[in-house]
Structures are given as structure tokens and as C-alpha cells.
Structure 1
Amino acid sequence: MPHLLSRTLTALVLAATLGSPLRAESNADAGAYLAARVAESQNDFRAASGWYGKAILTDSGNPQLLEGAILAELASGDFALAAEAARVLKSLRGETSQLGEFALLADEASREDYAALLAAAEGGRDVGDLVNSLVIAWAKVGEGKMSEALAAFDAVTQTKGLEAFGYYHKALALASVGDFEGADAILSGRAAGPIFVMRRGVFAHAQILSQLERNADAVALLDRSFGTGPDPIVDSLRRRLQAGEPLPFDTVRSARDGIAEVFFTVSTALNGDADAVYTLLHLRVAGFLRPDHPDALLLTADVLESLGQYQLAIDTYALFPPESPSYLAAEIGRAGSLQSLGKTDAAVEALQSLARSYGNLLDVQFALGDMLRMNDRCDEAEVAYTAAIDLLPEVTEKDWVMFFYRGICNEQSKDWAAAEADFRQALDLNPSQPQVLNYLGYGLVERGEKLDEALGMIKRAVAADPEKGYIIDSLAWAYFRLGRYAEALAPMEKASLLEPVDPVVTDHLGDVYWMVGRRLEAQFQWRRALSFDPTEKDAERIRRKLEVGLDLVKSEEETSAAPVKAAENGD
């Protein structure tokens, strides 16, 4: 059936480029220009905008500077400056770029100047075939020409791979003018067959059914789409519907909202396939036209995180007030960005605050557990994971990860019995999961328990994920711990190729070389491991091996029963 996340869309949109490389003219401020280019290359859009602005002060007629300024301003969400720069660029060249057209289109739509949008389209404006077509259709809605608008939506449905976009937006347009029967016919599949819609589309359909006084059908739709597990937004809608409340249709309230929805739905299709900056530009237009669009804001923050712009992501997450249904998701996202920015205490406190207010929500407890685990606060993390597990309505295959992470915390807290029980529960739920097989198998080898089973687990992990260096390291290290040094050599060398700068893997390779009699190579690998910033405890052990050799170190460890560290498992 037609699918909104069409690969055809990606091909169509990516045919348009973001513009040619910028070049400074001779009378431009070279220092400001270079600073702008550096900031742009680092996706630091706020800084780039400022530097381009400074450069433009010395050369306001430089098209390349204007082009760079438009990109930086759009990406940072400053549409007033972006539109002004686009108008200047157009006055210089008689035409603007695709980036400039983004800015001008957003400006016209924000002013609900639908005549200008249609005139620009007739004049050849190109922001991508799908966006062009859907914006024209919504502009017709804005002008009250509904018959022409529906014909324009129908034209999109005739493009192979893009059918669902045309049908979905046609349904939203019908609902926006009160034709809920027509909208339901499309979204239910009666008009043209089933179409895939995203979470937001399901909510829109639920609102449409409620407007048709079909609240029970709306509840059934939510249950089919999302199940009955805890979900604050779905739960709130379900309660309102079950109470007989008519849900207003507010997914698209106007043609301006419809154009915002165009940019949002296209951005969801681009996300993960196209350049992240290009996806961000679509999201910025959606958020500019519809500032209260929660899904656009959440995805904007997520894309900013992927670009390493954690402060911009934090600022975006902070736009959600506590009363917003999306507040919890935004706060969990904000905590993740704070962690990425190095503000660990603030990240933990954000989630602890959520847990104090919403401790009965599984997602909150799970997010808190993850944050505490990542910050080596395993005793506290175990409590949060246990709370999350206790909130599960039923344990299913996808819940393996909760038991796995709790098992890691129990293992780190030296409670092996509890850890093994959690790992085995995770394997009961997902018997072929390579991370669990690797972690449990390695733990058993380290303890000298159930060695045949342990080695079998690690081999299964390698078979399931043969290109993960840390798993292959575990296999080699299992052979090493079993005294099978010759068998350890080949997998350890492969692990080192896959994880060439991992201090633990490199250290392990040195140990294997030592035990097969390749002493000089062992010392070389230990020195390399020291250059890869190992923990201080590991560094002390490596320096001791370089001083006296592995044999004496092993003898000392056997006397003190000190454990040897395993390679990280990627979590």
C-alpha cells in the first residue's frame, strides 16, 4: 500500500541542492567570512549567522555571503533575517536560490498571502516537486478555491510513490473545512485503499471520528495503533473520548497550518535519508508557520542533537510548558542533550525531577535508569530499572533491554546472582540477542563457571554480529582465560582491526602476543594502549606489565584475586 516514507520522495527532494560553495569577494571582511565558514562546517548556525552578518556589512552585494547567511538564519530559525537576505539576493540576481525560496515561501505563508504563493509557483519557484505541489494545493484552500485545491491534491496522488502524501493532505484539507465524512473515508481506506500514516495522522483521524460522534471508534483506532500500554498522550486522548468529550479538530486549523504540515511530513520522510541540515530546514519552516506544532519541535530538537547542536536542542525542548502533553518527551530529550553537553548533574536532576512528579510512568523511570547507568551510578539505576519493570503491564519480547540493563547494574554492583538472573530473563525474551549473549558469556568465563555454555554463548554472539569488535574481543578473551592462547590470537587480531583505538582491546592483544611468545609485539601494543586514554586503573596495570612482564602481573593478580577488565560492550 502507499507509504508516507517513500524513497521516491527522497530522490525527488535531493535533486535540489543547497547551493554552491561560498566564495568571499575581495572587498569582504575575510576574517568574518572565514569564521562564518568554520562555524557553518561545525553546524554552529547561530555563530555562522552572526559572522555572515558582520561580513555582509562590508560587502552587502556579495551573493555568496547572502546565500550563506540565508542558510545559517533558516537553520537557526531566524526567518525575518532569512527573508530579508533572500529579497536582497533576488534584487541582485533577478532570482534567488532554493534556500532563498524557502525563506520567501515561509514569509508569504506566515502572512497568509496565498496569492503571492501561487504567483511564485507560476513563476517557477522550486523548493522540491512534492513541496511545490502540496503548497499550491493548500494555497488554493487558503483562497477558498476548494474544487481546485482538491484537484491539486488528486494530482499528487497520481505520482508513483507519493500517493499517500496526496491522500493524507487531501483528508486534512477536507477536515479543515468541516468535511469530516470525506476525510474519514480517505483515512479509513474506504476511498482509495489503506494508506500508512504516522502517529500524528492517527491522532488527526481520532479527532475526525470524534467530530463525527464516533468516540468509540476513535478509542478502537487508538488501541489498534498504539496498544494499551502506558503513553501519556494516548492515555489522555483515550480518557477524553471515553468520557464522551468531542475532540476538536485542531491538527490543521487553516491553510497556513496545512503548509506547515507539508514541511513536517516531508521532513519525516527526509529524516535519516537526506542531509540532516536539509531536513532541519524543512522542520524550521514547519515550526515557524506553526509554533505550537509539538511533533515538529520534538523532531527539530532531535535533528539538532544529531548535528551536535546540543544547546539549540535544549532551547527547543525548553519551549514545551509543563501542561503540554509532550512535556515529558521534551524533558527526557532535554536531559539527553544536557548529558551530551557535559552537564551531567543537570541532566540527572531533570530526570529525577520528572520521576518525583511522574514516577508512575514507565518511560520516565527507564530514562532515569539509563541516565544513572551511563554516569556509573549503578545502585540508583537498578532502583529506577526495577521501578520501570514493575510498571510493565505485561513482559514481552521488546522488554529484554530493561532486564539487560538492570543486569549490567547488578553486575557492576557485585551482585552476580541477580545479574545472571536478569541476563537469563533477557535471553528468555530474546534468545539471539548478541549483546546479552556476549555479556553473560563473558561474565561466566571471568568467574570460571559453566565454561562450555559460556563459550557457546559468545560464539553465538559473534555469529549474530560478526563485525562488532568488542564481541570478537570477548571470544578471544574467553579463549585466553581458558588458557587457549593460540586460538585467541586470530579473533583478537580481528577485534583490534575493528576497534583500532580501543585501549582495552589493544591491551588484550598485547596480552595474547605475550602468551604466544611475541614479547616485543606485546610491549608495542601495551604502549599503544596507554596512548588511547585508558582508565587510570588499567593504565597502572599496563605500566606494571611493561615493567615486569605479564607473567609476574598474573601471579600478583592471582594472589590478590584482582579482576581483569573486559572490553566495553557498546552501551
Structure 2
Amino acid sequence: MLKGWIERLAGSAAIGVIAALVGVSAPMSASAQEAAAPPAEAAEETPAIPLDAESIGSFAGAFLAARTADVDRDTASAIGFYARALAFDPSNNEIKQRLMLAHIAEGEFEDGLVLAEELKDDASIERATDLIRAVEALRNREFNTVETLLDYDGVNELDRLLSGLLRSWARLGQGETDEALTMIDELQGPEWYGIFLNFHGGSIAAAGGNVAEARSRLNAAITDQAGGGAAPDTYMRAVMALAALEAREGNQQAALDVISTGETFSPDYAPLTALRQSIEAGENPPSDIDTAQDGAASVLHTIAAALNREGAEEIVTLYLQLARVLDAGNAATLILLGGLAENMERSEQAIAIYESIPEDSPMRRIAELQLGLNLADLGRTDEAKAYLQSLIEADPNDMRSYLAYGSVLSSAEQYDEMAANYDRAAEVIGDDADRRHWNIFFQRGIAYERLKEWEQAEPNFLKSLELFPNQPQVLNYLGYSWVDMNMNLDEGMEMIEQAVALRPNDGYIVDSLGWAHYRLGDYEAAVQELERAVELRPADATINDHLGDAYWRVGRRLEAVFQWNRALTLEPEDDQIPLIQAKIEDGLDDTPPPATANGGPEESRTPPAVADPDERSDLPELHRTFTRDVVAR
């Protein structure tokens, strides 16, 4: 539902904040367009960004540098370049808009607020400026101002929900709980509004002291959206809010029953585990939302979390940074911001965000694991290893630590250490393995497979499937490995086909099916599947390389060379580059090598493609934790 919502918003003339963020704002003035346009002969070139914004001598240069920085998601540099462009044209509102949004995205709220005040009468950006000014009014407890600024009667579904919820919390800030709940009830919209209205209505009632109403609305949020619906983060917040409410009311068993409901959806969600421990210890957990400011921050957070997917990074960042203004220490918001920084390959910023998460937060452990992975992303592998090893020593029973450490070892191709790491994890698990541990045995199998110790690898893949039958990644890896080694061919193909059926839009798994057909000499079927895999994953070097091989085998040799050349442009692994270059130069031998236990000498064995864990939907994680690289590529 929300995917369609985002697509509708992206195509709407009334997209408000999103339009401004993704560059669909009001057209630039003619003079700005002319200044920004590069010479015709240089139209295909990407302008080099000067290191020093002050050295740029023209509006056009500064604007092009800023836009390039935007494309590169280098917001800090973009701010400097937009500011430089504004120095050449101080009245240019389009540049002010972009600079304002860049300041907010970078967490520089005060600077963004100054520009929001300057632009408050500009209709092309009023949804953004009104929101920013409303956050400032909330911070200052100017609740009447909030209601005035966010009095929205337009058709945009996102703006209507956001404005309505924030105005309801502002009314609560004035001590008018019943009126705030009436405003919630009057918000009309599509079906996906339901969980947001029920959660925030329940939270308003709880903050206003109406326990019965809070219980009813929070129950509705949970039961009407069983399994999380389109907003799993909000679903889990509703679970925790209701459990804490029941505990404070002395209903311990009712609280634990609610927690069990949440654990069915997400068994290892750290805040929920911490809440259970607190309630079982007889404590009365405090409410996460006590004030109108807390509530408004939760509005921005819950909507951002629901929108958090590829292509929506800018709008999500805006909402989370505004939520941070109102609730600076909220760990869930910080975790999401850290994940966004990682997605934009800004590891230093991600580390700083994770370090800011309070020491006593249940999310602190997740932040520490992510911090270790970001150290590795920065090339500080030894430091990352030492850091993650210290986390394992601090809590040897936390399987997440082994997965994070194993991820670093896998990226560094240190498979001996990777295997030893998972051996230790399996020893800790002992005879108590259950579905939660499938990935430990999967990763252990990968480590031994990479070490070419199949007799050690295979039992771990089978154990993983025993714990989690029909897990697509395991089916894909084991099935492909069998086919590649010319053993258990029928069962192996059946596994890969089952993985594709479970994950039909996963380009990596579809690639495995195509490449398995190739290894068995069914080249026409290989072409069919690999073409689909390339459609799903057009920027993957390995998949394009595989399609080139299949084209060659069916006689489509010009297309084969094109695919190989394309694969070279997509940053293949270093050891694959000379192999691809040789194919471009000489093609493939007329007689293809048979599938062998070692994958054949002429067409080097490529491990089965597996999905990037960032994009997997089967893991029951509500926040982007350490799963980024836990499946070896």
C-alpha cells in the first residue's frame, strides 16, 4: 500500500515537501536556467567539484557544483556550494530552497529555520517552510501557532496525515485531550491511515490520562494491523506502548501477553526484550511519549519509518532530522538516521550518530554493531575486528555479534577466521538451535564452502534449512552449489526454482537459476532467466557477465560482447576483470566445459549470487541493524 502511495506522491502536482527534496520544485527563473546550463559540447561531462567553494567565480559554477554534490549525496559540500551560488544571486529563492533543505538534512536546524522564515511567503515551498516553522513553534510550546501553520485542506494524502497528526498533538499540548482525539477521528483518508490514527490517538489518550481510551485505541492499532501491515515500526511502537500502559496499571499478565504478540512478529527486537525484562522484574516502565513535543517527534518518526526505502532517502532524512529537534535522544530515530547515512556511504557520519545513542538505551547494542561495520567500510578492518570481538567477549550469547564480525571477515575474504567465528557461535548455541539461528549455520556453511571444504559446508546448509524450511537464500546457495558440482542435480534445480518462486523479483536468485541452466548446457533457458535477472538487477556486474556467456552459447555474439563490456563498467571483482577482458578479446571456446566439482577451468566458477541483506524482506528486523552484509556476496 505505501509503495503505491509513494509512487502516487512522486507523480502528483501537489507533492509539497517531496517535490522540493527530489528537485521537482517550481522551475528556476530563466536567468538561473541560462546561467546553470553547460555549453552544448560539454553537456555529457560531469563538472568537477572544487574543494573550496570560495574559489568558485560564477553562479553557474557554484550551482553545478552544488547539484553534483546533491547527486553524490554529499550534503555538507552542497551546502557550501549553494551558499556560494547565493552570494552571486542573493534573491534567488530556488537556491534558498535547496540550501534550506540541505541544512535540515545535515541536522543544521537553526540555519534551515532562518531560510524558512525568509521563504515563508513563497507558495512553491510553503509545505516545507510551514513544517519547519511548526517544529520551531512546537519546541517553544507555541501550540496555537502550530495549528495555524499546519491548517492544511489540500488533496495530498501524506501532507494531510502529517499536518492532522501534528495539529492533534498541538491541541494536546494545550491540555485539551478530548478535542485532540476528536481531531484524530476527523482525519479521513485511505486504509493505511488506520494504524497511524490508532497509535497516535492511543498515545494522546495515554498522555492525557484517559487510560480506557488509550487501551482501546492501541489495541485497535495492534489487532487491525496484525503482523505490522504497511508500518511495522508503528505496529511495534503500539505493542510497546500498550504493554507499558498495562504494566503501569498493575496488569502484568496482560502486559506480557501483549509483548508475546510483538515477539511473534519480531522475536529479537531489542527494545521489546528489554521491556519484557523490566515488566517481569516488577517495574513500571515509563511512557515514551509524555508531552506534545514527544508526540510530534513520534509523528515524524513513524511516517519516516514507513517511507524508509530506496528512493525516499531525502524525505525520510528531513522528517527524522525534524523529529530529532524535538526529541534529540530518541534511539529509534538515531538508528534510522545512522542507517540512512550508511546507505549514502557516509560512514563517518553514521559512526557519529551511533555514538550519540544513549548508553542505557536497549538500542545501544545495535548501534555498536553498526559502528563496527562502518569502521570496516572505512577500510579500518583491523580496528573493526577488534571492536566487534570486544562485543562478542562482552556478551558471548548475542548471536548478532557473531554475524556482524563474520560479515567483516567475509568482506575481507578471511574465511578461516570466519569459519572459526561461526564454529564458536554454534558451540554457544549447542542443542538449543531454533529458527532464529538459521543464519549462523548458513554463514558457517558459506565460510567452509569458500574454503573448499564441502564436507563441512553441506551439513550447515542442511541444518539451516532444518531450522528455517524454504528459506530462499539457503535454497539458492545449496541448490546452486549442488548443480555446480554436478551432484544432486534434480534436487538442486528444484531448490533454486523454489527459491525463485518464493522471491520472483530477486535478481540474484533469478541469476542463480539462469546460471544453473547454463552449467547444465540448457543455454536457451539460461538466456531467458538471465535476461530477466538483468532486468531486475541491471547494475550488477556478475549477472551481466553471465548473460554475455549465455548469449555467446546461443550464437548471439555481438550481444555477448556488449554484455561483457557492460559488465566491465559495473565494477566487477578484481579477479574477474582479466577473465571478462579475455572473453571480449577471444570469446568462449566452441566446446563448453562440463560442470565439474571445481566448476571447470575455462569458465571460472562464480559463487551463487545472493541478495543484498538490505533489500531482503524475510528478516523480521524493524530497524536496519547489522544485516547489511551478513550474507556473503
TM-score (norm 1): 0.82
Which of residues 570, 584, 605 in structure 2 aligns to 1:565? 605
In structure 2, the residue matched to 1:425 is 463
Q: Contact 1:365–1:385 at 8 Å: present in 2 too?
A: yes
Q: Contact 2:372–2:388 at 8 Å: present in 1 too?
A: yes
Change (3 A) 1:403 1:61: same
In structure 2, the residue matched to 1:495 is 530
Q: Contact 2:143–2:174 at 8 Å: present in 1 too?
A: yes
In structure 1, the residue matched to 2:237 is 200
Counterpart CA distance in 2 for 1:285 and 1:513 is 51
**1:134-179 alpha-carbon deviations (Å, 9 max, x no partner):** 2221111112233322221222278754233233222212222333
- Spell out the pairing of 1:243-322 with structure 2 (5 A cutoff): 243-249=281-287, 251-272=288-309, 275-322=312-359
Which of residues 205, 208, 228 in structure 2 aligns to 1:174? 205
Change (3 A) 1:7 1:152: farther
Counterpart CA distance in 1 for 2:222 and 2:550 is 64
Question: Is 1:471 equivalent to 2:512 in the alignment?
Answer: yes
Tell me by how many angstroms 1:80 deviates.
0.7
Tell me by how many angstroms 1:85 deviates.
0.4
Q: Contact 1:475–1:488 at 8 Å: present in 2 too?
A: no
In structure 2, the residue matched to 1:72 is 102
Q: Contact 2:297–2:322 at 8 Å: present in 1 too?
A: yes
Counterpart CA distance in 2 for 1:457 and 1:194 is 36
Q: Contact 2:259–2:276 at 8 Å: present in 1 too?
A: yes
After alignment, is 330-339 or 446-455 more displaced? 446-455
In structure 1, the residue matched to 2:259 is 222
**1:450-499 alpha-carbon deviations (Å, 9 max, x no partner):** 4554455455556666764531343234324xxxxxx3455157536745
Q: Contact 2:444–2:457 at 8 Å: present in 1 too?
A: yes
Tell me by how many angstroms 1:72 deviates.
0.6
Q: Contact 1:434–1:461 at 8 Å: present in 2 too?
A: yes
In structure 2, the residue matched to 1:355 is 392
Q: Which amino acid aligns with 1:65?
A: I
Question: Is 1:183 equivalent to 2:175 in the alignment?
Answer: no
Counterpart CA distance in 2 for 1:462 and 1:210 is 45
Change (3 A) 1:187 1:12: farther
Change (3 A) 1:478 1:101: same
Tell me by how many angstroms 1:257 deviates.
1.1
**1:401-443 alpha-carbon deviations (Å, 9 max, x no partner):** 3322211111112221111111222333455445434433443
- Spell out the pairing of 1:387-466 with structure 2 (5 A cutoff): 387-390=424-427, 394-397=432-435, 399-454=437-492, 456-458=494-496
Question: Is 1:102 equivalent to 2:135 in the alignment?
Answer: no
Which of residues 136, 144, 151 in structure 1 aligns to 2:182? 151
Counterpart CA distance in 2 for 1:124 and 1:465 is 41
In structure 1, the residue matched to 2:61 is 31
Counterpart CA distance in 2 for 1:524 and 1:223 is 55
Q: Which amino acid aligns with 1:128?
A: D
Counterpart CA distance in 1 for 2:419 and 2:366 is 22
Counterpart CA distance in 2 for 1:413 and 1:253 is 54
Tell me by how many angstroms 1:221 deviates.
1.9
Change (3 A) 1:52 1:463: closer
Q: Contact 2:347–2:375 at 8 Å: present in 1 too?
A: yes
**1:191-220 alpha-carbon deviations (Å, 9 max, x no partner):** 997566522222222221122122332223
Question: Is 1:59 equivalent to 2:67 in the alignment?
Answer: no
Question: Is 1:235 equivalent to 2:273 in the alignment?
Answer: yes
Counterpart CA distance in 1 for 2:123 and 2:554 is 74
**1:3-36 alpha-carbon deviations (Å, 9 max, x no partner):** 9x79769867974233325637569733222222
Tell me by how many angstroms 1:286 deviates.
1.0
**1:508-531 alpha-carbon deviations (Å, 9 max, x no partner):** 678778889999999998888777
**1:536-560 alpha-carbon deviations (Å, 9 max, x no partner):** 65566678887898599979x999x
Counterpart CA distance in 2 for 1:133 and 1:432 is 43
Change (3 A) 1:192 1:72: closer
CA RMSD, Structure 1 to Structure 2 (Å): 4.3
In structure 1, the residue matched to 2:419 is 382
Counterpart CA distance in 1 for 2:202 and 2:515 is 54
**1:27-65 alpha-carbon deviations (Å, 9 max, x no partner):** 973322222222223322222222222222333322111
Structure 1 spans left out of the alignment, 5+ residues: 481-486
Structure 2 spans left out of the alignment, 5+ residues: 36-57, 227-233, 611-632
Question: Is 1:163 equivalent to 2:203 in the alignment?
Answer: no
Q: How many residues align?
A: 558
After alignment, is 437-446 or 95-104 more displaced? 437-446
SS state of the match for residue 244, structure 1?
coil
Tell me by how many angstroms 1:107 deviates.
1.2
Change (3 A) 1:502 1:271: closer
